[in-house]
Amino acid sequence: MTLSARAHAANAMRTLGDSSGAAEIARDVYERLRDNPALGPRHEITLITGNQIGHDLRIAGRYQEALDFDRESVATHRKVFGAGEVYTLRAQANLAVDLRMVGDFAGALALDRDIAAHWEDVGRSDPRALAAYINMARSYYGMGAYVAGIEVLERWGATLQDLLGPGHSQVLIAGRTYSILLRKIGRVAEAADVIRENQERVHARFGPGHEFSVAATCSLANTLRELGELDEAARQLDDALGWYDTGFGPSHPLTLVAQVNLAILRRVQGDLAQARDLDEWCYQELSRVLAPDHPYTLCAGTSLATDYALAGDHARAVEMSRRMVDASRATAGGGHEARSGGEHPYLLMRAINLSQDVRATGGRDADAIFAEAVAGLRRTLGSDHPDVVAAEEGRRPEGDIESPPT
């Protein structure tokens, strides 16, 4: 069938980095299949082709639309193919990606676990089970359950590479996730070694402008910043932003995420004015294109609160910090078994910042807020973690963002 061939061509184009061309073809094919009286929206070919639509919406930064489309698609898959069938599980995996993109990491983890449990019945080293484990690690990262994510990748990462080869996209994504989690648990030098190698392999496989390559470059920049290699971090981040701005535009979530990271870097470099300009823009745009309580928006708002504090505008800083803590508590607060019952580290770090802002405005509850947040961060990350040590020394924690794979 010509339409099926065009759908396969769209997949190939997307893999090679031509996301806009792929999206145009995939949408045209899907609509033709859906509107064909002999096929229709519930036909197997239509449903299989429709899995590309959610992916294209995610690449375009339209995360909520992707979630809505894929949620309906999963429901139809279950009716047509049945629960637990291959195509249904594939659609569920797409839905889990959507949930991560809108910040529902616990919901994504539940789907990832369900998919992994199914493929475990086939074999725990089945590539599809391994892919589900890797997705679980990504959900753990978003939940702030860094140790749980590390454990998954250290158990299954090598097996995945042995089965699929070092250049497979799943293997490369797993490698980047591993470096991110290493950095988040405080093993920053080790994370730098992993992400440098990962960036080289991703560039060799896909080229420097591919989505995966640019994301690896952002991860390297974040790691270099923590190591104090600020000039090289800036070079890497400027390169990533060039690709994002050209490929996606200035208001795409991935571009804005990279700019939040750039604001943090500029602040470390002492350029407080540019940091504040970037954060004000990113907070405004992320609130608009995602949501005011999206995790990326909260990171931008947290960064902006630090800009206010460093400028001596403590009233605005405390107002923004309190807003970020309240929103974080509503969306990711409460203990979770994946974090051994602890709170999300970013919530606790935002509370530490709030305590500083409350103290600067003469609030009496600053010490209590600080003591509770630091105690929680010690339980979650460990007493010798760099972020815990920095907080105890009176430094404001930063909350950078890692560009998500779509």
Say if CB 202 and CB 176 are below 8 A apart: yes
Domain-located, residue 277: no
Convert 354-390 into a string of H (helix), E (strand) and C (coil).
Answer: HHHHHHHCCCCCHHHHHHHHHHHHHHHHCCCCHHHHH
Domain-located, residue 290: no
Domain-located, residue 86: yes
Q: What is the DSSP string of 283-329?
A: HHHHHHHT-TTSHHHHHHHHHHHHHHHHTT-HHHHHHHHHHHHHHHH
Residue with tokens 């590479």: 161
Domain-located, residue 58: yes
The total domain count for the chain is 1
Q: Which residues contact 148 (CB under 8 A, 6 or more apart)?
A: 140, 338, 339
What pLDDT is attached to residue 4?
73
What pLDDT is attached to residue 208?
92
Domain-located, residue 40: yes
The domain that holds 61 is classified in CATH as: 1.25.40.10
Domain-located, residue 23: yes
Q: Which residues contact 18 (CB under 8 A, 6 or more apart)?
A: none
Say if CB 318 and CB 360 are below 8 A apart: yes
Domain housing 38:
1-102
Q: Cα 126 from chain centroid?
A: 25
Integer Cα distance of 300 and 263 in angstroms: 9
Integer Cα distance of 387 and 367 in angstroms: 18
Domain-located, residue 252: no
**Tens place of pLDDT per residue across the chain (406 aa):** 577 778 677 777 777 777 788 888 888 888 888 888 888 888 888 888 888 999 999 999 999 999 999 999 999 999 999 988 999 999 999 999 999 999 999 999 999 999 999 888 776 678 888 999 999 999 999 999 999 999 999 999 999 999 999 999 999 999 999 999 999 999 999 999 999 999 999 999 999 999 999 999 999 999 999 999 999 999 999 999 999 999 999 999 999 999 999 999 999 999 999 999 999 999 999 999 999 999 999 999 999 999 999 999 999 999 999 999 999 999 988 889 999 899 999 999 999 999 999 999 999 999 999 999 999 999 999 999 999 999 999 999 999 999 988 8
Half-sphere exposure of 66 (CA within 13 A, CB side): 28
Q: Cα 33 from chain centroid?
A: 33
Q: What is the DSSP letter of 337?
A: G
pLDDT tens digits for range 292-316 = 999 999 999 999 999 999 999 999 9
What pLDDT is attached to residue 123?
67
Integer Cα distance of 298 and 104 in angstroms: 14
Domain-located, residue 374: no
Say if CB 33 and CB 42 are below 8 A apart: no
Say if CB 80 and CB 42 are below 8 A apart: yes
